Amino acid sequence: MTTKLPIYQVDAFTDQLFGGNPAAVVPLSQWISASEMQKIAAENNVSETAFFIPLGDHFELRWFTPTFEIDLCGHATLATAHILFTELNYPKDEIHFHTLKAGTLTVTRKGKLYTLDFPARPVEKHEVSDALIKALGGKKPIDVFRARDIMLVYESEKDVQNLQPDFSALAKIDQDGVLVTAKGDHCDFVSRFFIPAAGINEDPVTGSTHCNLIPYWAEKLGKTQLHACQISERKGELWCELKADRVLMSGNAVTYLKGEIYL
């Protein structure tokens, strides 16, 4: 017997179709198996597919890359909230998502802007290998840190923009993500994020990396409200705030498609 599941695709952290980061969103009435969710995510072949179920007055939420379940994802959380608000008639202006590894995440709506409330993840000093620098194109960073992902800080936005990674080499060196960042020319800071081991060479816009970036740049720049740009080919824009051990990230979203999965 064929089961039909609704599916949506959303461009997150942008107000322009074909910008930001695409995420698939699959509403469920009850959980299907992890293997089925993984196969759907692989078939969708976007950086993350979000699955959620209602539970009382909140929702449970999980995210899958094309190759594995991930612990935290910002743009797919924003995309899920966007679908609940715009397509599924969620009546309130605040949504609580319960997650396996990141605790409770909140998304609020004000006009067309969505704000994510995520945990801050401060970074610690880290060593970088010559092999990693070579895989990124040979440009040496001015500083290196690590939290979930390795974070390389460069001198200028141009340095970050001009990086031309060897993704095959990068996938062999580091099984986590590689985050690169610098002070921005027209915003507070810029970033790019590479995670070829997860089937994503370059992620267009990454909410979870801003859990590292916001505490770092807030301290570096001496302010708690920050304007961030992820300078991938698709580009994305975030308005950020550091509040104690939480980070707030605000952005827009645009629905690209809706349809059905025949499972």
Cβ atoms within 10 Å, residue 63 = 28
User: Over 90: is that where the pLDDT of 109 sits?
Assistant: yes
Residue 45 and residue 23: Cα distance in Å, rounded?
A: 9
Calculate the CA 41 to chain-centre distance.
Answer: 15
| Domain(s) of CATH 3.10.310.10: residues in the chain | 4-118+250-262, 124-243
Percent of the chain's residues with pLDDT above 90: 92
pLDDT at 134: 95
Q: What is the mean pLDDT of residues 50-76?
A: 95
- Could you tell me the fold of the domain covering 124-243? Diaminopimelate Epimerase; Chain A, domain 1 (3.10.310)
Q: What is the CATH number of domain 4-118+250-262?
A: 3.10.310.10
3-class secondary structure per residue, 188-226: CEEEEEEEHHHCEEEECCCCCCHHHHHHHHHHHHCCCEE
Please report the sign of the dihedral spanned by the C-alpha atoms of residue 120, residue 125, residue 128, residue 133: positive
Q: Is 229:205 a contact under the CB 8 Å cutoff?
A: no
User: Over 90: is that where the pLDDT of 250 sits?
Assistant: yes
User: Over 90: is that where the pLDDT of 7 sits?
Assistant: yes
Q: Is 76:206 a contact under the CB 8 Å cutoff?
A: no
pLDDT at 175: 66
Q: What residue type is 46 in one-letter code?
A: V
Catalytic position from the list 43, 48, 124, 241: 48
Q: Is 69:62 a contact under the CB 8 Å cutoff?
A: yes
Burial of 153 (C-beta count, 10 Å sphere; 0-12/13-18/19+): buried
What are the pLDDT digits (tens) for 140-188?
999 999 988 999 999 999 999 999 999 999 998 866 799 999 999 999 9
Annotated catalytic residue 48:
yes
User: Over 70: is that where the pLDDT of 257 sits?
Assistant: yes
